[in-house]
Amino acid sequence: MKAFFISTSIPYVNAEPHIGFLLEALEADVISRFRRSLGSEVYFLTGTDDNALKNVQSAEKSGMKTQEFVDLNAKKFIELMEKFDISNNDFIRTSKDERHKLGAQKLWNACSADIYKKKYEGLYCVGCESFKTQKELKDDFCELHPGKPLQKVSEENYFFKLSNYQEKLLSLIESGKLRIIPDEKKNEITQFIKMGLEDFSISRSSIRAKNWGIKVPGSEDQIMYVWFDALSNYINALGYASDDLNFERFWKNGYKIHIVGKDINRFHSVYWPAMLLSAGIELPDTVFVHGFINDENGQKMSKTLGNYVNPFDLLNKYGKDPIRYFFLKEGAHYSDSNFSIKLFEEKYNSDLANGLGNFAARVSTLIEKNGQIAFDKFNQKNLDIELHAFLDKTILEMADYLLNFKIAEAINSLWGLISYGDAYVNNNKPWSKDLTQERREFLLGNLGFMLYEISRALDVFIPETASKIRDSLKFDGKNIFSKKIENLFPKINS
Ligand SMILES: [Zn+2]
């Protein structure tokens, strides 16, 4: 099996983490956990983009030194990973990691055939950290950042010959060699390429960059454009600069996927592959592009609008697994989604308190009352054939969904199994006095086995809950017994 590399984007640390980034981290986490469960060797990378100009500006506003400011915010991103059980095995910081600085400079040198200097004038949006053409403006402002003045820039910069890669990129993407999911996002990219790729500036004067960022090799007065340095983090973490074994294993020979938000698809599906082609480095296999989480009215969340939701506040109020569940099930994997406390609490009550929590409580209570049950899953006489067929079908279906990055669909399948189990309890009434003891143990054995399998399937989505279930429900392949599983998800009354 190929080694498996997966990354989130590295967010700017000009502010605290928001729920959109939590969603991305959760997506990468589920895919990582799933691939590990298949036996793949997984390298799950995340980190922070410290070198953006907007970090410098936010630091200035707060009255702190830039390094202190980014250190402080980066800590919150590390904390986010830990508190939400994100299973990343690396965290890279572009202002701190020597492997990153060396790698960015090595990549620059490797691209030197496509790098040239020219005098440039343009309008720069610090919000986007990119230049804007007249076409991209709305009432003289950046479309994504209305009201934020654009910087008029006139200086001599280094440029990257993106135009050299137009045909090559188009054929790689159209053929699916570089896969962009979903199709809608792939089409946006192919249309963008067909409009004609223009060379882009990849450095700025040290003065404009406020001397913050990575120096262009051999050019004292130029700092790398933040995206050029940031994108290289993916290979730098693997030891590109030092020819590390991980670079060989995970990048050269592995299966590689980037998970990114829709606003930075172009950077990952056009600029980054072009840089890699220029440097003669393998391309990622897949770019998975997720949408944005908006408020219940479909409005973008922001602190100024007052509809902003802090992931740590959610965590403190509801605990990590309910939040993991909600964003994995309802999050903006393929298109934008909405979030509100009301929506969250409704889902919590229906899917977790009544769904999973209630099923686990029912089954475990009945088994506790009965006492240990002999249940050998390889012994045909123990098995309810129909139930097992449904169980197997669900597990296969989930695996298929997860291989194709369909996280919500996989959860849907699993909850279909919970509904099946609930109906099984209702229809067969294992508590009924009319049943023989043999029949009762047959029913409870199958239900116990099913709950055990559900807990194992939950490992990739809500690992803490999955372990909690197995703390009470024991199955060694031959015998099942259980203590009552109470209050996995106490109902929220609002
Ligand atoms: Zn902008």
Alpha carbon of 142 to ligand 1 centroid (Å):
5
Contacts of 75 (CB under 8 A, 6+ apart): none
Q: pLDDT tens string for the chain (494 positions)?
A: 899 999 999 999 999 999 999 999 999 999 999 999 999 999 999 999 999 999 999 999 999 999 999 999 999 999 999 999 999 999 999 999 999 999 999 999 999 999 999 998 989 998 888 888 888 888 889 988 888 889 999 989 999 999 999 999 999 999 999 999 999 999 999 999 999 999 999 999 999 899 999 999 999 899 999 999 999 999 999 999 998 999 999 999 999 999 999 999 999 999 999 999 999 999 999 999 999 999 999 998 877 777 889 999 999 999 999 999 999 999 999 999 999 999 999 999 999 999 999 999 999 999 999 999 999 988 888 999 999 999 999 999 999 999 999 999 999 999 999 999 999 999 999 999 999 999 999 999 999 999 999 999 999 999 999 999 999 999 999 999 999 999 999 999 97
Q: Which CATH architecture has domain 342-482?
A: Orthogonal Bundle (1.10)
pTM, to two decimals: 0.95
C-beta of residue 405 within 8 angstroms of C-beta of residue 31: yes
Alpha carbon of 145 to ligand 1 centroid (Å):
5
Alpha carbon of 20 to ligand 1 centroid (Å):
18
Three-state SS sequence of 410-452: HHHHHHHHHHHHHHHHHHHCCCCCCCCHHHHHHHHHHHHHHHH
Alpha carbon of 144 to ligand 1 centroid (Å):
5
Alpha carbon of 141 to ligand 1 centroid (Å):
8
User: Which long-range contacts link 415-422 to residues 24+ away (Cβ below 8 Å)?
Assistant: 415/351, 415/355, 415/356, 417/390, 417/391, 417/450, 417/454, 417/457, 418/355, 418/356, 418/359, 418/454, 419/355, 420/387, 420/390, 421/359, 421/363, 421/447, 421/450, 421/451, 421/454, 422/358, 422/359, 422/362
Alpha carbon of 148 to ligand 1 centroid (Å):
8
Number of Cα atoms under 13 Å in the Cβ half of residue 456: 13
Alpha carbon of 126 to ligand 1 centroid (Å):
7
Alpha carbon of 227 to ligand 1 centroid (Å):
14
Three-state DSSP at 50 gives coil
Q: Please calculate the CA angle 164-166-169 and round it to the nearest 5 degrees.
A: 115
CA distances from 270 to 141, 170, 189, 225, 237 (A): 24, 9, 8, 16, 21
Alpha carbon of 146 to ligand 1 centroid (Å):
8
| All structural domains of the chain with their residue ranges | 342-482
Alpha carbon of 150 to ligand 1 centroid (Å):
8
Alpha carbon of 136 to ligand 1 centroid (Å):
9
94: its two tokens: 């572009």
Residue for token pair 């020819």: 243
Query: In angstroms, rounded to a whole number, what is the distance separating the alpha carbons of residues 144 and 281?
Result: 32
Alpha carbon of 128 to ligand 1 centroid (Å):
4
Alpha carbon of 382 to ligand 1 centroid (Å):
63
405: its two tokens: 């990055």
Alpha carbon of 57 to ligand 1 centroid (Å):
15
Alpha carbon of 130 to ligand 1 centroid (Å):
7
